[in-house]
Structure 1
């Protein structure tokens, strides 16, 4: 059995299904963890801060995806209590983020938040992996069946100093590698062989038991329609968190026409990304069309897109704070780099899903990637509100083009 494409089931077999209230509640708690990360990133924009943000963000995404896919496959048999326990684990992780950031970036001496974060992550991932029925093997997300990536985290509890974060990075890298290299067929074969060996071993210890090799494991895949909705909703929630950061920054700024213009440009930028990802995209991914890429590819691109969108909240709140002053170098590059990264992922999605011809791809590269990077390089003396206005115009240009070409692509 191979990986399914997003929304590639025959029309007659599809049953319309939407996210439950419990699933939406779960997404909000996961987004709270991402919000805690962006607040920590705002205090340190150096390489160490970005590296810590990326590492911790991936832990939240892996934990969220484990429970999200459990709800997706289990459908009406999902245990709400399991989701609530997963939410509590994510909440503990989120509450530990400021302490982790202070210990790592501020060279604090209290290392207890790192231990709390590691234990909460281990407990959340292990509990999420055990939510699946023993006879089922999820083909689209190997880390549910293989927990080798958690071993470095377990060791890190007893390790001091910088090696702790190194072990965390190794563990997350192992999980990502499993997602990339282990196919659905191989995953099912290995799981069946291991399950058969365990069953045979138990029967040898009980000679009077029945013969045979035991039950055959069943490979299960995701409900693509439900998955696309969950991915899109999470992007919307992260965009909303970015709006909250802009509002919070504006509440502390001096009122005036300049503040209104800055807030308006920031909102237009975020609303434009909503249009590209949700209105003219699919599963929260810009330029994606249904049934064009595999589930794993969609999950990977979703992880990157939401991570990039979350960083925009940090950049835009800094824009509101600086007002008529130019942005400092790190803040300017984070803002322009995040916009360029978003459009880079859009180009990858468009090419992978075959929704872009060569001319359209080249225009997206020039306007969506080259222009923001040039602004980051050259706009050293440009006011922060002017810079975000330029970037908002870039997004609006892409929206206009998508709206113009939508009828030809069958979009509403």
Structure 2
């Protein structure tokens, strides 16, 4: 019997379910989310900007994941109105992102955008956590039904200054910790024991009441693997599509010359190559992943990191288009090279975890995908941003070429 917590490929006898029109419409909020988060890294790039970007992206991704999993489990019983309300909540979070960035990074002192973001996040997460039917426990990602991480967010509404961000980080940290340590099966067992004990202590025989001795049963539910992988893949595609839009927008405001054309072509090749590695040669939007090899919870964690990295690459490419033939500043160069190295490093992790890589492939991916971008970030101080993007595109194309030529590893 297969483990229900494993991301598996659908059996031939199973009817493969695809994302509904309502779910596809709901996913469009990702476009606005990635565009808004670009404002955070589009300002002065430093550790504060990177930290704020990671914090806001994690909050957005956790909220989206809650509703994605609800639609996955509910299937034909998904309520469209619930998805639309969740979409509206995510929209409020996104609309406040530029204000949050200006308030925190620009030191404007106006904390109203932070309060709006916190309230929208709390309301969206609480509403999403109530989506499941009574008596159901999501085994694959139980944090979607747990609101413990929202307590620091609620407290942040009543404090001022940087303490808001500290409490936000604490809340996200609690959620991430719960993802790692909380088992859906353990929660199911504890809840069932609690209901059984409560039913036993409260049962009192009365002549006018009929007792059948029934104890409420808590059901564990798991994701639909095919639908799950499709939604994760669609998220990655949407992020890549928005990345292309950002590059086009930057090019539309730049001076037209052959250098700009070369940068645009290299940027498109790089993003298209990442699409090939993540979607065509990957699974659930994750490069080198194979279906049925890792738990759904692990796939979600890797998906969060991969999509965050891809969105970061888009900001870097837009910056290169804007700087023209000039060398990128140190932070911008490290953002581009570091993001691409992180993308390939995560690909190495998925390849090893899903047993789709042997030792030779793993070592070659580390050298070409991780070491080369990091060396360029370290040494290419006087190299133009355009040349740097061309080098990054060549690295991605080389990985695509090897993926096409190498036979998949079975097992």
TM-score range, shorter chain: over 0.9
Aligned-partner SS, 1:48: helix
1:116 — aligned with what?
116
Q: 1:331 to 1:215 in 2, by over 3 A?
A: same
Alignment of structure 1 residues 187-202 onto 2, 5 Å: 187-196=187-196
SS in structure 2 of the partner of residue 137 of structure 1: strand
1:87 correspondence with 2:74: no
Q: How does 1:59-74 map to 2 (within 5 A)?
A: 59-74=59-74
TM-score, normalised via structure 2 length: 0.95
Offset at residue 184 of structure 1 (A): 2.4
List, as ranges, runs of 4+ consecutive aligned residues in structure 1 with deviation greater than 4 Å: 194-204, 206-211
Q: Which residue does 2:107 correspond to in 1?
A: 107
Aligned-partner Cα distance in 1 for 2:3–2:280 = 29
Rate the CA distance shift 1:142–1:2 in 2: closer, same or farther, 3 A.
farther
SS at match of 1:6: coil
Is the CA contact 2:73–2:224 (under 8 Å) kept in the aligned structure 1?
Answer: yes
CA distance in 2, matches of 1:368, 1:314: 20
- Please give the secondary structure, in 1, of the residue aligned with 2:327: coil
> Unaligned 5+ residue runs, structure 1?
none
Judge conservation of contact 1:275–1:399 (CA < 8 Å) in 2.
Answer: yes
User: Which residue in 2 is equivalent to 1:45?
Assistant: 45
Distance, in Å, in 2 between the alignment partners of 1:304 and 1:17 is 26
Q: 1:145 — aligned with what?
A: 145
3-state SS, counterpart of residue 11 of structure 1 = coil
Within-5 A mapping of 1:265-344: 265-344=266-345
Q: Which residue of 2 aligns with 1:363?
A: 364
User: Contact (CA 8 Å) 1:246, 1:320: kept in 2 or not?
Assistant: yes
Query: Once the 2 structures are TM-superposed, how far is the Cα of residue 8 of structure 1 from its aligned partner?
Result: 5.0
Partner of 1:26: 26
Residue deviations 1:191-245, cap 9 Å, x none?
32444566678878x9976654632010000000100000001000000111111
Alpha-carbon displacement from aligned partner over 1:70-114 (angstroms, at most 9, x marks no partner): 000000000000000000000000000011111111111211111
1:285-327 deviations in whole A, cap 9, x for unaligned? 0000111111011000000000000011110000101111100
Instruction: Name the CA shift for 1:379/1:214 in 2 (closer, same or farther; >3 Å).
Output: same
1:403 corresponds in structure 2 to: 404
Counterpart in the other structure of 2:394: 393
Structure 1 residue matching 2:274: 3-state secondary structure: helix
**8 A contact 1:100–1:114 mirrored in 2:** yes
User: Does the CA-based 8 Å contact 1:97-1:117 persist in structure 2?
Assistant: yes
The 5 Å alignment of 1:177-192 reads 177-192=177-192
Give yes or no for contact 1:86–1:128 (8 Å, CA) kept in 2. Answer: yes
For residue 219 of structure 1, give the secondary structure of its aligned residue in structure 2.
Answer: strand
Q: Find the aligned partners of 2:364 and 2:114 in 1 and give their Cα distance.
A: 45
Q: Hey, what's the Cα distance between the residues in 2 that align with 1:355 and 1:302?
A: 17
CA 1:203 to 1:347, structure 2 compared with 1: closer, same or farther past 3 Å?
A: same
Q: 1:350 and 2:370 equivalent?
A: no
Matched, 1:263 2:264: yes
> CA separation in 2, counterparts of 1:348 and 1:123?
35
CA contact (8 A) 1:30 1:87 kept: no
Answer whether contact 2:247 2:321 (CA < 8 A) is retained.
yes
Q: CA deviation at 1:43?
A: 0.7
CA RMSD of aligned residues (A): 1.9
Counterpart for residue 96 of structure 2: 96
Deviation, 1:267, is 0.5
CA distance, structure 1, for counterparts of residue 6 and residue 276 of structure 2: 23
1:46 CA displacement: 0.3
Q: Are the counterparts in 1 of residues 240 and 311 from structure 2 also a CA contact under 8 Å?
A: yes
Equivalent pairs, count: 407
1:11 maps to: 12
CA change 1:340–1:228 in 2 (3 A) is: same
Paired residues of 1:32 and 1:94 also in contact (CA < 8 A)? yes
Q: Please tell me whether the aligned partners of residues 249 and 320 of structure 1 are also in contact (alpha carbons under 8 angstroms).
A: yes
